Structure 1
Amino acid sequence: MKRRRRVRDWLVDTVLFMFAALIGLLAAAERLNGNAPMPDPPWLFDIDQMLGLLACGTVWIRKRWPVHVCLSLLAVSTVSELTAGAMIVSLFTVAVHRPPKISLPVFGVSMAAAGIFVLVRPEPSGPWLTIMWALLLQGTAVGWGLFIHHRRQLIISLKDRADRAETEAQLRAHQVREEIAREMHDVLGHRLSLLSVHAGALEYNPAAATEDIARAAKVIRESAHQALQDLREVIGVLRAPVGEMPQPTLADISTLVSESRRAGMNVRLRQQLSGAVPDLLGRTSYRIVQEGLTNARKHAHGEPVRVSVSGEPGEGITVEVFNTLGEPATPKPDSQGLKGLGERVALAEGRLEHGQTTDGWRLRAWLPWPA
């Protein structure tokens, strides 16, 4: 779409037109006042004036075809001195709107055109004065234009850099929000499911022994306290980078399983690992087991659960949580927990599989473990 000309554009073009016309009028006045000889035959001066007037008109179209207009004026300037002002303006325009690899060769052509002019129309004062004036005026126009060109490029570069920085900041903010959502679901979902199990046991068995009620109440109190502590750690991501937060490791899986057993779950844990597991893989493995136990507790409480963590460097880590199906519905494949878990596994460049089998529900993940 064609850009609408602003008031500033009209002002700049008007000033440059007046400059081109002034240069032409000064050169014509030199001839008319007798300070410089008239061309022979005299009618060449009339043609020169017409060419100078037409050249000034190109000021209004120079931005559309800067190089073409400039080269055309350079060709005319080899025989016409009254087009010098418009030619200087066109040189300036090329330097502003085209890269140096174009504007500098055009400047070289302008100096060659000045050399041809002194040969075609020799002056009594000699050619060197004309060449020096051409070098001064045309060199100043091109140098000024190059300065403006580089300044504009710098401004564009700084603006692009600011836009990229803003985009990256928005992306980082989005990633932080996603991290908070995953941590909130993974940590609090596990703790609150424990609370739900023990509270449900008290609700459905109000006649339980005093010792059993006291034991369940103690577990509820401890789980609530731990849930608050976990929540404080998750909220800490708002004040510090995620990498600085206390994070679980592979060794914490045993504690996770013990908590589930105290909640009444029948959990078997098998670990077969050789070598020190990297922090990212250990943390991701912990979250996989945590999500699997949480789902088993919510959807198949009382059913046996098998947790398996195995692997070695170069082969990767395989984490699997399997439970037989209970009466309640199995977790939906598009649940927020599984979605967030899929994002975690993807960040670790692994694979996640989950779904119903003939005899239960399986959550399985493979994570790469470099040798």
Structure 2
Amino acid sequence: MSDRLRGFGLSPRAGAGRLVDVLVAAAVAVPVFVPFATAPEVSPLGVVFNLGTVVPLVWRRRAPFAVALAVASFAMAVSLYDRPGQALQYGALVAVYTLADLGRYRWQRWGFIAVLVATIPPGALLIKDNDAAEFMFTLLLPMTAFLLGTLARTARERSDALVERSAQLERERAAEAARAAAEERSRIARDMHDVLAHAVSIMVVQAEAGPVVVRTDPDRAERVFDAIADAGRDAMAQLRRTLGVLKEEQDHGVRAPQPTIGALPELVEHVDRTQVRVRLTVEGASRALPADADLAAYRIVQEALTNTVKHANAREAEVRLRWTDHELEITVTDDGQGGGGADAGWRRGGSGLIGIRERVAACGGTAEAGPRPGGGFRVLARLPFAAVTA
């Protein structure tokens, strides 16, 4: 069936609409021409005029206004020429309904007036035995048809608006899901970078020092290899937690445990096993932090120490946590080449140091890094309590 419709240049939907229009025209033709079967005399001109109120309905969807005018003209001719031909102007009623339902707003009024005039049989005004009841009846019918068409149009437009609104909401939900997925991928990428960069940096430094220590200090060599193994095991554990986020969130909607500021002593101990001596200093009374700030504090220190081990060629570093009434101030300093590798690593915008900026900004804080006047490098981050807990 659809192939046949395409052969006539019609889509399946348009072809179905045309078929409905043909059936409507056929249904209207039945009451129009039934009186001719019992009429004592049938006029060929009367048949033509009556056909004119039926045939144009086949195109009622394509040109509602033109069809309404054509049907109204033939209906007027039927009323004047052969009044018994149609007790009611069925074609005109269908035309005015279609005009209200599918026609352009600016043409509806004129088309309705034309059909209204045509469907009030002029004979009702010319023949004396037509009373007021018949006149009102012929007047109310087209008005009712127009009202029904308007109601159908309103219902369809409301349905279309609801469908469009639903589609818009679906697009917004899809965009929000895509944005959330992108943020989650970015978060996981930062966490994986922090874990791998820190662990691999420590392992590389220890491995490079291993051959020298084995020859000069065999007892210390054992501690060096233990540090490499510990760094590897710690990296594996943190990777499992980070990658486990994907399955945990999919299955249960919760995240796996993440490292917090309470794990900093262990982090400092791991780095201290390298050639860099690290000291942790805490000032002020510690306070409970929200989960995002707690993780951010840990990752900031982790990335800063990783930068020190990789770039600074430092021998000593210090991690200072200063708790105030309004913010947590995190300072990581070293005595390495502040104007060299560490500074260059920050200014190049490595993903780890960019991650520090992003984490601090997400918590409403500030971050800065650069060489110290007396030598070495410093990373300073401030996490305000008010912004974090808002």
TM-score bucket of the superposed structures, by smaller chain: 0.7 to 0.9
Letter in 2 for 1:87: V
Q: Deviations over 1:282-302 (max 9, x none)?
A: 221111111101100111233
Give the drift of 1:259.
Answer: 2.4
Query: Is 1:337 matched up with 2:341?
Result: no
Letter in 1 for 2:359: R
Deviates most, 191-200 or 137-146? 137-146
Q: Deviations over 1:29-52 (max 9, x none)?
A: 5898898xxxxxxx9x99999899
Aligned pairs (5 A) from 1:200-279: 200-241=208-249, 244-274=255-285, 276-279=287-290
Give the drift of 1:202.
Answer: 1.0
* Identity across matched positions, percent: 21
In structure 2, relative to structure 1, the CA distance for the partners of 1:143 and 1:335 (3 Å cut) is: same
In structure 2, relative to structure 1, the CA distance for the partners of 1:119 and 1:306 (3 Å cut) is: farther
Whole-angstrom CA distance in 1 between matches of 2:352 and 2:11:
59
Query: Is 1:196 matched up with 2:204?
Result: yes
Give the drift of 1:20.
Answer: 7.5
Choose from 309, 313, 316 the match for 1:304.
316
In structure 2, relative to structure 1, the CA distance for the partners of 1:357 and 1:215 (3 Å cut) is: closer
**3-state secondary structure, aligned to 1:251:** helix
In structure 2, relative to structure 1, the CA distance for the partners of 1:57 and 1:244 (3 Å cut) is: closer
Structure 2 unmatched runs, 5+: 1-8, 40-44, 77-88, 125-129
Aligned pairs (5 A) from 1:1-371: 7-8=11-12, 10-11=14-15, 14-15=18-19, 18=22, 59-62=61-64, 69=65, 83-93=92-102, 118=120, 122=124, 126-130=134-138, 133-134=141-142, 137-241=145-249, 244-274=255-285, 276-279=287-290, 280-313=292-325, 315-326=326-337, 329-330=341-342, 331-332=345-346, 333-358=348-373, 359-370=375-386
**Coordinate RMSD, CA, aligned:** 4.5
Contact 2:314 2:334 in 1 (8 A): no
Higher helix share: 2
**3-state secondary structure, aligned to 1:310:** strand
What TM-score does the superposition give when structure 1 sets the normalisation length? 0.73
Q: Give the structure with higher Rg (CA).
A: 2
Give the drift of 1:186.
Answer: 0.9
Contact 1:19 1:85 in 2 (8 A): no
Whole-angstrom CA distance in 1 between matches of 2:202 and 2:123:
101
Contact 2:332 2:378 in 1 (8 A): yes
**3-state secondary structure, aligned to 1:244:** coil
Whole-angstrom CA distance in 1 between matches of 2:163 and 2:300:
49
What TM-score does the superposition give when structure 2 sets the normalisation length? 0.70
Q: Deviations over 1:204-261 (max 9, x none)?
A: 3331333212222222222222221112111101111385221222222233223222
